[in-house]
């Protein structure tokens, strides 16, 4: 996997967006702000075969907007939701029921959208991995391929037909 680097200089528009906050950032050490960023691929470094170096992709901040008092909470919510979807792990049972890790369920509480997004991500990763294994099976016949495809379709439908997780009880012990 390539290493990622951020180019030293942001676009003029991005620099202008952050400049408005420079005094506050300087006067409050440790201050955190939230915003939306667009990164653009500007360069790649591909080592020659046999070199003991990692490939590198360099990105530049091309657009940046910082939240104000009215938009900070929704952006933090979106950031949290994106993190929860990216880090969703669990298992997919034979019956199509997705079991998220206990840690994930505790972190999500009963945020229905986050639970559902995490549940579907776990299922999608399971079936994508399954499809990749089938794809790399040597000498598979059309009949076997059709059987595997039906199995994936049935599995996906089971996940879609299952209800969301039930909310944790008021004690927070998950029973």
Q: Residue 31 has what pLDDT? A: 93
Residues 131 and 58 in one domain: no
Q: Residue 123 has what pLDDT? A: 85
Q: Round to the nearest angstrom and report the end-to-end CA distance of the chain.
A: 41
- 113-137 pLDDT, tens per residue? 667 777 788 888 889 999 999 999 9
Q: Residue 150 has what pLDDT? A: 92
Residues 52 and 105 in one domain: no
Q: Is residue 1 part of a domain?
A: yes
Q: Is residue 175 part of a domain?
A: yes
Q: Which residue range(s) make up the domain with 44?
A: 1-66
Per the structure, the count of domains in the chain is 2
Q: Residue 102 has what pLDDT? A: 67
Q: Residue 21 has what pLDDT? A: 92
Q: Is residue 81 part of a domain?
A: no
Q: Residue 5 has what pLDDT? A: 93
Q: Is residue 35 part of a domain?
A: yes
Q: Residue 173 has what pLDDT? A: 42
Question: What is the pTM assigned to this prediction?
Answer: 0.53
CA neighbor of 122 nearest in space, from 87, 82, 167: 87
Q: Residue 110 has what pLDDT? A: 59
- 51-60 pLDDT, tens per residue? 999 999 999 9
Q: Is residue 148 part of a domain?
A: yes
Residues 60 and 14 in one domain: yes
H or E segment at 57? strand 56-66
pLDDT under 70: residue ranges of the chain: 85, 89-90, 95-96, 100-114, 162-175
| Cα 175 to Cα 170: distance, rounded to the nearest angstrom | 10
Residue with tokens 């997919």: 92
Residues 112 and 44 in one domain: no
Residues 117 and 167 in one domain: yes
Q: Is residue 159 part of a domain?
A: yes
| Cα 118 to Cα 101: distance, rounded to the nearest angstrom | 10
| Cα 150 to Cα 69: distance, rounded to the nearest angstrom | 51
Residues 174 and 95 in one domain: yes
Residues 95 and 55 in one domain: no
């Amino acid at each position: 996997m390539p290493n990622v680097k951020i180019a030293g200089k942001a676009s003029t528009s991005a620099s202008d967006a952050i400049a408005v906050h420079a005094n506050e950032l300087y006067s409050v050490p440790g201050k955190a702000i939230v915003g939306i960023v667009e990164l653009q691929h500007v360069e790649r470094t591909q080592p020659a075969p046999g070199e003991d170096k990692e490939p590198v992709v360099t990105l530049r901040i091309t657009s940046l907007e910082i939240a104000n008092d009215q938009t900070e909470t929704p952006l933090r919510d979106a950031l949290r939701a994106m993190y929860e979807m990216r880090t969703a792990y669990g298992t997919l049972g034979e019956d199509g029921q997705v079991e998220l890790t206990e840690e994930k369920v505790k972190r999500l509480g009963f945020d229905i959208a986050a639970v559902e997004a995490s549940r579907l991500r776990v299922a999608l990763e399971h079936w994508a991995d399954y499809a990749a294994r089938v794809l790399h099976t040597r000498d598979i016949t059309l009949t076997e391929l059709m059987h595997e495809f039906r199995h994936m379709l049935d599995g996906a439908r089971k996940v879609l037909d299952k209800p969301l997780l039930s909310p944790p009880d008021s004690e927070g012990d998950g029973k």
